[in-house]
Amino acid sequence: NLFKSIGNRNAGINSIFRSLISSSPKHFTNEENKASKYTTFEDMTAIRRIEAQKSLLVQVNSEKSHKELCSYCSQFGKLRSSFYYNLSEDLNFILLEFDEISGCEEALRSSSFNEDHPAIPVISPFLWFKARDSSKPKSVDKNKEVPNLIHQEVKCLDENKLDEILTSAETIDDQILILHRLTQLNELGIRIRYLAGHQLEMALNGMFPKIQACLFGSSVNGFGKIGCDLDLILRLNDDCGDITGSRLIYHTKMSRLNGRSQTQRQMEVIGDLMHIFLPAINNVRKILNARVPIIKYNHECLDLDIDFSMSNMTGFYMSELLYLYGEIDERVRPLVFCLRKWASVVGLTNSSSPGRWITNFSLTVMVLFFLQNVKNPILPSMSVLTKSASPNDIRVTDDNINCTFLRDLNKLSFKIENTESLHHLLLQFFEFYSTFNFQQNGISLIEGRPIVKPDHSAIWITNPLEPLLNVSKNVSYEELEKLKLETRNAAWILESTIDKNKDPSSWGLMSLLRSKKRVVKPEMFFKSRIVDVTDLFKDDSIKDYDNISYKNTAIKS
Ligand code: GTP
Ligand code: MG
């Protein structure tokens, strides 16, 4: 709707801004923080999983089929919500949510398979709505309640439109908030990701009654963009043990393989099953020799790239930790979004291929660390979270990694006195890292302050769940110099383009985010060139060039 109204630009733009930023206070006070109620990651996940169990994705001819589809489906149960998106003119989808799981199950039970297609019948939440036999009358029951059809995008927003909206904002704070609102994963994006997990559970549930697809990464940690990839872990058994107390026990098969080869074999089989039988799953690639064996695939109806693994619960708990840090203060996520965008525009991160550059994950940790280190800290150190943990918070992974920390933020006693604006925090971030002593110090969320660097890596960022490991081990000295240069540059650009009136078409955030038109302060540019060249002669400056992302490499990050 926002972009429909953008068509009528000048008339609508002020009201668009008001609606985009109205719910966000410009000044953040302690009172507001105290008043907020936090949802735990587990509760949020449980709600989303149930939502997926109540939902179906139906391919339709066009959005005009909405009423007819709802009228047809309401015979199975009351409908709660409906979302529409299209991937092309001919690929139109409606995501329907029933009020109860039973409604959805009834709809699935009554669905049939395509008689004209000699395919093997397989159950999934992905269906299509057959056109009505034209000889029969239209069957829309006008008395039935039909949920509103909500239009949302599953693809990234057009850069020119974003540019246009950001340029017309009033302040840099507004620009940061708007960027966040318009690029963050929307409701539909979250729902279809849980539905992708549910598809695997549905398909394999008959054989593995305890199966659970656990979503992690940016799809669930609150730092995901529209269109971000989906990371998921498929667990065939849960940790809860069996509490039924029955005297009848299932016979099961013990594996003779060790943990890793067992995971590889299981993934091999499940990967084949997905490839051969599951609808809409395409382009299945197995990368089983990586440290964390993964299978990559593409979901046709959801337009999603999915990475799935069957081990690595630390990734899941790491996402929970990031989610909690994002919940503590409402400035965290807009700031991370803005910095992720800036880093990708200036070429510090490269989401399409892993390599010697900093990852989005490491950059996010750097932002959190910075917020622990501002004059009046906005985020607590992780040791505060671990010290506040209760017995309910104890989590230890299969490979014995302790992931215990406070889960319920309502029990956190940490006062936020800081009321700085997003704009000032952004500037301080650039200043903080352009002067950070990377040579001697490392970044650690656990301590919440710089630590003595334990080795010679270009950048040391302690893995908060496995403190002996460096999550930025892959980053080269050359990339570190680039980071220092770009943060210096950004601080300078941001300071010199605050005034909207001086250059209304390229001010504030726009001057930072428009890659081609970036202003480069000459002396800084030359200084950095010299550093780059001398670096090439240092022995260890090129080490780890082939250490690619933690998922695709044997090197433990
Ligand atoms: P984007 O996919 O870029 O949007 O962000 P992401 O956070 O999902 O990153 P990615 O898909 O690369 O990784 C998924 C999750 O795995 C992250 O959110 C972390 O929880 C975890 N992770 C990523 N990189 C590392 C790493 O270097 N070490 C460890 N231990 N965990 C990582
Ligand atoms: Mg991801």
DSSP 86-150: EEETTEEEEEEEESSHHHHHHHHHH----TTS-PPP---SEEE-PPPPTTSPP---TTS--PPEE
Instruction: List pLDDT tens digits, range 78-124.
Output: 999 999 999 999 999 999 999 999 999 999 999 999 888 788 999 99
> 3-state secondary structure string, 364-399?
HHHHHHHHHHCCCCCCCCHHHHHHCCCHHHCCECCC
Q: What's residue 142's pLDDT?
A: 66
Contact (Cβ atoms closer than 8 angstroms) between residue 445 and residue 372: yes
The Cα 474–Cα 470 span in angstroms is: 9
Cβ 555 vs Cβ 473: under 8 Å? yes
Pick from 233, 505, 464, 300: nearest CA to 368:
464
User: Which amino acid would we find at residue 394?
Assistant: I
**Cβ contact 85:151 at 8 Å:** yes
Cα of 419 vs centre of ligand 1, distance in Å, is 30
Distance of CA 167 to the CA centre of its chain: 26
The C-alpha atoms of residue 200 and residue 219 are separated, in whole angstroms, by 17
Q: What ipTM score was computed for the predicted complex, to two decimals? A: 0.96
Task: Tell the residue nearest (CA) to atom 21 of ligand 1.
Answer: 315
How many angstroms separate the CA atoms of 414 and 136, rounded?
65
Ligand located closest to 359 CA: 1
The rounded Å distance from CA 67 to ligand 1 centre is 41
Selection from 449, 265, 264, 480 nearest residue 373 by Cα: 449
Among all ligands shown, which has an atom nearest to the Cα of 351?
1
Q: Identify the residues whose C-beta falls under 6 Å from ligand 1.
A: 216-218, 221, 224, 228-229, 231, 314-315, 318-319, 351, 359-361, 463, 471, 550, 557
Amino acid at 153: E
Q: Give the pLDDT confidence score for residue 76 in this predicted structure.
A: 96
Q: Which amino acid, residue 461?
A: I
Are the C-beta atoms of residues 509 and 175 closer than 8 Å to each other?
Answer: yes
- Cα–Cα distance, 295 to 273 (Å, whole number): 12
Burial of 406 (0-12, 13-18, 19+ CB in 10 A): buried
Q: How far apart (Å, rounded) are the C-alpha atoms in residues 31 and 261?
A: 53
CA–CA distance, 322 with 196 (Å, rounded to integer): 22
Counting ligands in written order, the one closest to the CA of 471 is 1
d(CA 501, CA 497): 10
With beta carbons less than 8 A apart as the criterion, state whether 304 and 196 touch: yes
**Nearest alpha carbon to residue 356 among 495, 237, 475:** 475
Ranges of beta strands (E only) in 9-65 are: 55-60
Cα(60)–Cα(499) distance, integer angstroms: 49
- The single-letter DSSP state of residue 533 is H
How many angstroms is it from 231 CA to the middle of ligand 2? 5
Q: 3-state SS string over 171-183?
A: CHHHHHHHHHHHH
Q: How many residues does the chain have?
A: 557
Where does residue 367 rank: exposed (0-12), middle (13-18), buried (19+ CB within 10 A)? buried
CA 508, chain centre distance (Å) = 26
Residue nearest to atom 31 of ligand 1 (CA): 315
| Structure tokens, 497 | 């383009």
- Spacing, Cα 37 to ligand 1 middle (Å): 27
Calpha distance 142→502 (Å, rounded)? 57
Q: Which atom of ligand 1 is nearest to the CA of 472?
A: 27
Point out the residues of the chain with pLDDT beneath 70: 1-36, 135, 137-143, 239-243, 256-257, 351, 515-557
For ligand 1, what atom is nearest to the CA of residue 321?
20
Q: How many CB atoms lie within 10 A of CB 275?
A: 16
Task: Name the nearest CA neighbour of 481 among 450, 458, 461.
Answer: 458
Q: Is 441 helix (H, G, I), strand (E, B) or coil?
A: strand
- Closest C-alpha to 220, from 43, 352, 464, 349: 43
Report DSSP state, residue 508.
T
What's the CA-to-centroid distance between 217 and ligand 2, angstroms? 5
Residue 395 CA to ligand 1 center (angstroms) comes to 19
* Cα 235 to Cα 214: distance, rounded to the nearest angstrom: 7
Half-sphere exposure of 539 (CA within 13 A, CB side): 1
Query: How many CB atoms are located within 10 Å of the residue 417 CB?
Result: 11
The ligand whose atoms approach the alpha carbon of 361 most closely is 1
d(CA 456, CA 370): 22
pLDDT in tens, 322-358: 999 999 999 999 999 999 999 999 999 986 777 899 9
- Closest ligand 1 atom, CA of 463? 30
